[in-house]
Structures are given as C-alpha cells and as structure tokens.
A and B are shown apart, each in its own frame.
Chain A
Amino acid sequence: MGVAGNARAGVVSRKHLEAGPSRYVIARRLLPYALIAPALLVIAGVLGYPLGMLLWISTQQYGFRELIQHQGVFIGLQNFATILTDPQFNYVVRTSLLFTVINVGLSMFMATVIALLLERVSRPVRILLSSGLVFVWATPVIPAVNLWQWMFDYEFGVVNWLLTHIGVGNYIHHNWFENPVQGFAVITIIVVWGAIPFLALTLYAGLTQVPRELVDAAEIDGARPWQVLTNVTLPIVRPLLIILFSLSTIWDFGVFNQVWVLLNARPNKDYFLISVYSFQESFRVSKYGLGAAAAVVMVAILAIVSIFYIRETIRLTAEQSQ
C-alpha cells in the first residue's frame, strides 16, 4: 500500500506542477490553513481571553471583593505552592489517577464488547441496542445521577432491597457512601454506564469502516474469529482506539458532576477527586485565584498523563500524511 501509493501520488503532483500556474500552487499551500482557520477562529476567539484570564488570576489573590473590582493582588506562584504543599493534595491526585485508570479500562472494555456485538447481531436487535444506548446517552446527567442515587439510597434503595431479598446479606439501611471504596465503586458504575454509549457507538462506526474484503479474505485463509480481530480489525481501528482512550482519560480525570450530585453538593473529603477538590476548595469559597491555579495544575497533570497518547497520535499523524 505504502510505496506504490506514494509513487502514484508523486505522478499526480508532478503532473500538476508541470501543467499548472504558480497561483494554483500557492492556493494549494494555503488550503490547509484556510481549512483550519474558521475552527481556529472560533476556539481562539471565544476561549482565548478566558484562558488567558484564568492563567492571570492563578498568580493573584482573587476573592469576591477582587472579582467585583476586577483587580487582584499579584502573589506570583504562591497559589500553586499552597496547592502543591497541601497534605490533602497527594491523596487527591493518587485517588484521581487510580479512579481514571479503572474507569477508562472498564469503559473501553465494555464499549469494545458492545461494539463488536453490534456488528454481529441481527438488524432489529442492533436497532434496539443502539437506540437504548442513545437513550442512556441522551438522558440529562443530573436526573440520571439522581436515579442512581435513589437506587443506592440508604433506606429507599432498590439495590439494598434486592441484595437483602436475594440473600446476599443484610443490606437494610446499608450506607454505600460511608466507606469510600464502596462509594467510589458506585460512582464508577455510574460513570462507566454514562460513558459506554458514546464509546461503543463511535467504535462501532469505526468498525464499519473496516473493508469487508479484508475480513473475508482472512476468513477464507482459515483465520479464526479471534485472529481476524487481532490481525485485521485491530490494526485498522487502532488510531480510533487511541483517540477514544485519550478522550476517556481526559473526561474521567475531570469527573465532577457525578460525585457532586451523588453526594448532594456536600462531598466528604474522601471523595475529593481533583475536579471536586479544585471546585470545593476554591470557587465554592470564593477563592478564585486558588481555583484558577488548581485548574492549571489539573491540566498539567493531565498533560503529563496523556503524553503517551499525544505522542502516539502525533507520530501516527506524521506517518499517515506523508
């Protein structure tokens, strides 16, 4: 594919160079920039100033009074020092990373299973399952988390009732959130449940791109389903998988709503994922400078964590568009 393709590409472009005027060449060179320009304009135009302001405020002492007066007190990197030397911060980062790893792993695993299933089921079942997934996906987050909250409620929860009646044990008045390990298990279920639809449907869309001929050829050659999967399908959807992994990581690292709503906007310290910690210790108590610094720290950690994905993607991008 590679060499022959490049040769043909060479023929094509040489043909254009010989025949066309230089204006065409210049237009062609500008084309990539023209294509990204509108999107870049919107993103930079809308988010540029706010991001800049965020960075600026992170170096200031900026409470509510300063917000009203649009004027803070410059304190350099002190906000960052406060955060990084906070004894709780260590716990928060470790918990967030562990939480992210588990959630991304579970979400991607389930999404892959479901995507593969979607390929192999009959049409009515496919429509049923994908519509169900979309319904879950479309349900507004806050009412959905409230639903899960009820299901795990101390006295009204279906889960407690079911577990007791099936005979797993006495779960009457079992408080799922007293022990953070159990609490995080519940939060994980909610996050994975909410994440599956997009990942599964997008992965399924990617799987439909795998050329039928390649799969058929491999099967004719005698390959078993597992081998077809790993040798034919996987390499083709690999770039997409990397993207979904990276998106999952970014989103799961920033999980906020589920914890916040589940614990009625008053989460216990044990439940401070980094976004919750950042919000609670700063914005909620009107310490905007500290909050901005916490956001910057979050982005920094996330960037370090995703450096693998980013490098992979840049490498793939580079080798694809030669």
Chain B
Amino acid sequence: MRRGVRRTFFDGAAVLIFVAMIFPIYWMVSTALKPGKEILSLTPVWIPTQLNLGNFQTAIHVPFFWNDVVNSLIIVSTTVVVSIVLAFLAAASVARFGFRGRTAFVVMVIAVQMVPLNALVIPIYLLLDQVGQVDSLIGVIAYYMAVVLPFMIWTLRGFITNVPVDLEEAAMIDGATRVGAFMRIVFPLVAPGLVATAIFGFIQAWNEYIIAYVLLSSSSKQTLTIWLASFTTQHGTDWGGLMAGATLTALPVVALFIVVQRYVQGSLTAGAVKG
C-alpha cells in the first residue's frame, strides 16, 4: 500500500518534469500549425486557432527534400553503426586489458574532445579536398565518425568497467572462452548504455550543420540540416516552416528510441532471469 502511494508521488513528479521539459517542444509544434500573425504575437496564442498543416506540406515540398532525407539517413546510420562497433571494441580493450600505451590512448581520447570543432572546419575541408572527398557523403561520414568515436569510447568504457570482472571469470571457469564470456555477460548488461551512446551519436550526426554545409554543395547530396537552414533567406526566416521542419527532423529519432527501448527492456529482463 505504502509502495503504491510512493509510486503515485513519483509518477506525479515525473509528469510535472515532463511538462516543464516538453513545453518548448509544444511551442515548436504549435508554431508549425499557426498562421503567420499568431507566431510572433504580442499576446501569446496558447492553442493554434486552426490546425493547419500548410507549413508541413510546404516543408516537404521543398526541392530535393527526399534526397536530403536519404542522404541524412545514409550518413548517420553508417556513422552510428560503424562507430558503435569500433567504439565498443576499443572501450572493451581499455576497460579489460592493461597494455602499454593505454594511458596515452585514454588521454588522447579525452583531449580530442576538448578541441572546439569550429576551429577545425577549414583544416578538415582542406584535408578532404586533398583526397578528393569534398562534396561526397564518405568525407562527411569519415569526419562524423572521428568526432563521435572519442566520446563513445569514453562513455562505453564507463559502462563496461561497471560490470565486475568476476562475472566473466565465473563464466570462464564454467568453460566459456574469454570472448564468449565477455559477450554473454557484459553485452546484455551494457546494452542500455550502448543504446544511450548510439542515440547520442545519432543525434550528433543527424543535427550537425556547419561541416555538412561546407563540404556538400550539390543539391542532390545535401542533408536535412541544410534543408532546415533553407527556411532562412536574406528575406528573413519562415518561422512556421522552420518549426515544421524541426519537428519533422526530430520525429525519426523519437521513433527510433521508442523502438529500441522496447528491445532494451526485453534484453534486460532476459539478463535478470539468467543472473
């Protein structure tokens, strides 16, 4: 009974926090549905007077929109899938093995994250220009991976070290190989961490603008972030369109999360039964 009351209290607090966090998002979606005069108005318009989808339609009908979607999907999926694998391997190595150069590697991983990326735009462009990867999706993927890997390695290492080594050793005494023990024991336990890290990488790459803009010039190669920037011209910004675009940009990530988080729940319960 007391547990129930406590849970209701927590539920209430969580819902309050949800409302506070989501309020700007609500504002974004409602702006997308408002006519021009209500968007920047002296008296706030809390609920749009008409649910007009015009902004969403215009947003989708921008030339090359679907190209942009495909390009973003290709770039980001490749970046995330390859990076998470590489990062997991590197993180496992750093977390489980002592080897010469490990400290140096860890320091490098941390130090690289401290460099402000603004400063690297021109050098990156020049590098990719030399190898002919300007205006190419591969060049962008390579850059995103290099930027996302250090953080992924750093975070995954934390999750892996949280799993006590003896769990693997117990499995090895039972006859499993080092690798087998690691995968069977550690992997399910760090799955939630993997998900959070992968989603982070996804969002970083999905919403990145300046490098994508500087590297990609052909209309057929551009990404959704460049599409978002197109709502601002020298005539000002189409706020309704921009907010519709921002909403559309965020939706795939939310969808991805909902799908993946159900999977994570599943593997967690499986792990509990085994343990």
Residues of A within 8 A of B (CB): 1, 4-5, 8-9, 12, 29, 31-33, 35-36, 38-40, 42-43, 45-47, 49-51, 53-54, 57, 67, 114, 117-118, 120-122, 125-144, 146-148, 150-151, 153, 155-156, 158, 161-162, 193, 196-198, 201-202, 204-206, 208-209, 211-212, 236-237, 239-240, 242-243, 246-247, 250, 254, 256, 275, 278-279, 283, 288, 291-292, 294-295, 298-299, 302-303, 306, 310, 313-314, 316-318, 320-322
Chain A CB within 8 A of B132 CB:
no
Binary contact track B15-31/A, C-beta < 8 Å → 1, others 0: 10110011011011001
Q: Which residue of B lies closest to A283 (CB)?
A: B118
* Contact residues of B between 176 and 223, Cβ < 8 Å to A: 189-190, 192-193, 195-197, 199-200, 203, 206-207, 209
Show 6 A/B contacts (Cβ-Cβ < 8 Å), sorted by A. Answer: A12-B173, A137-B203, A146-B239, A211-B275, A279-B118, A299-B114
A198 surroundings in chain B (CB, below 8 A): 196, 200
Q: For the A-B complex with A128-B14, A198-B200, A202-B197 known, give 5 more contacts whose Cβ atoms are closer than 8 Å.
A: A131-B257, A139-B28, A197-B21, A206-B193, A239-B162
Interface size class of B (residues with CB under 8 A): 35 or more
Binary contact track B237-253/A, C-beta < 8 Å → 1, others 0: 10100110110011101
How distant is the Cα of A298 from the Cα of B113 in the complex, in angstroms? 12
How distant is the Cα of A193 from the Cα of B89 in the complex, in angstroms? 32
B51 surroundings in chain A (CB, below 8 A): none
Residues of B within 8 A of A (CB): 6-7, 10-11, 13-15, 17-18, 21-22, 24-25, 27-28, 31, 40-44, 86-87, 89-90, 92-99, 101-103, 105-116, 118-120, 122-124, 126-127, 142-143, 145-147, 149-151, 153-155, 157-159, 161-166, 169-170, 172-173, 189-190, 192-193, 195-197, 199-200, 203, 206-207, 209, 225, 228, 237, 239, 242-243, 245-246, 249-251, 253-254, 257-258, 261, 268, 272, 275
How distant is the Cα of A250 from the Cα of B161 in the complex, in angstroms? 22
How distant is the Cα of A62 from the Cα of B49 in the complex, in angstroms? 55
**Which has the most chain B C-beta neighbours within 10 Å: A12, A161, A243?**
A243
A155 surroundings in chain B (CB, below 8 A): 42
Q: A209-B159, A317-B161 are in contact. Are A120 and B7 (CB under 8 A)?
A: yes
How distant is the Cα of A243 from the Cα of B114 in the complex, in angstroms? 14
Q: A35-B92, A139-B25, A299-B115 are in contact. Are A247 and B146 (CB under 8 A)?
A: no
Q: Which residue of B lies closest to A162 (CB)?
A: B44
Are A196 and B21 closer than 8 Å at their CB atoms?
Answer: yes
B31 surroundings in chain A (CB, below 8 A): 147
Are B89 and A54 closer than 8 Å at their CB atoms?
Answer: no
How distant is the Cα of A254 from the Cα of B127 in the complex, in angstroms? 24
Are A209 and B189 closer than 8 Å at their CB atoms?
Answer: yes
Are B246 and A38 closer than 8 Å at their CB atoms?
Answer: no
Q: Which of A130, A132, A313 makes the CB contact (< 8 A) with B261?
A: A130
Q: Which residue of A lies closest to B250 (CB)?
A: A138
Are B15 and A47 closer than 8 Å at their CB atoms?
Answer: no
A19 to chain B, nearest CB (A): 13
Q: A35-B89, A50-B127 are in contact. Are A295 and B116 (CB under 8 A)?
A: yes
A142 surroundings in chain B (CB, below 8 A): 209, 228
Are B146 and A43 closer than 8 Å at their CB atoms?
Answer: yes
How distant is the Cα of A37 from the Cα of B163 in the complex, in angstroms? 24
A54 to chain B, nearest CB (A): 6
Secondary structure dominating the interface of A: helix
Q: Which residue of A lies closest to B46 (CB)?
A: A158
**Which has the most chain B C-beta neighbours within 10 Å: A9, A197, A206?**
A206
B189 surroundings in chain A (CB, below 8 A): 209
Are A140 and B110 closer than 8 Å at their CB atoms?
Answer: no
B124 surroundings in chain A (CB, below 8 A): 46, 50
Are A135 and B165 closer than 8 Å at their CB atoms?
Answer: no
Are B11 and A121 closer than 8 Å at their CB atoms?
Answer: yes
Q: Which of B126, B150, B257 makes the CB contact (< 8 A) with A134?
A: B257
How distant is the Cα of A144 from the Cα of B163 in the complex, in angstroms? 37
How distant is the Cα of A295 from the Cα of B245 in the complex, in angstroms? 33
How distant is the Cα of A50 from the Cα of B22 in the complex, in angstroms? 39
Are A141 and B92 closer than 8 Å at their CB atoms?
Answer: no
B198 to chain A, nearest CB (A): 11
Are B28 and A42 closer than 8 Å at their CB atoms?
Answer: no
Q: Which residue of A lies closest to B99 (CB)?
A: A32
**Which has the most chain A C-beta neighbours within 10 Å: B150, B165, B189, B239?**
B165
Q: Which of B17, B28, B199, B225 makes the CB contact (< 8 A) with A114?
A: B17
A139 surroundings in chain B (CB, below 8 A): 25, 28, 246, 249-250
Are B207 and A1 closer than 8 Å at their CB atoms?
Answer: no
Q: Which of A33, A118, A206, A288 makes the CB contact (< 8 A) with B14?
A: A118
How distant is the Cα of A131 from the Cα of B111 in the complex, in angstroms? 32
Are B158 and A243 closer than 8 Å at their CB atoms?
Answer: yes
How distant is the Cα of A15 from the Cα of B41 in the complex, in angstroms? 76
Are A36 and B90 closer than 8 Å at their CB atoms?
Answer: yes
Q: Which of A43, A147, A205, A278 makes the CB contact (< 8 A) with B195?
A: A205
Are B17 and A39 closer than 8 Å at their CB atoms?
Answer: no
B238 to chain A, nearest CB (A): 12
B159 surroundings in chain A (CB, below 8 A): 205-206, 209, 240
Are B15 and A128 closer than 8 Å at their CB atoms?
Answer: yes
How distant is the Cα of A194 from the Cα of B235 in the complex, in angstroms? 29
Are B25 and A209 closer than 8 Å at their CB atoms?
Answer: no
A156 surroundings in chain B (CB, below 8 A): 40-42
Are B18 and A129 closer than 8 Å at their CB atoms?
Answer: yes
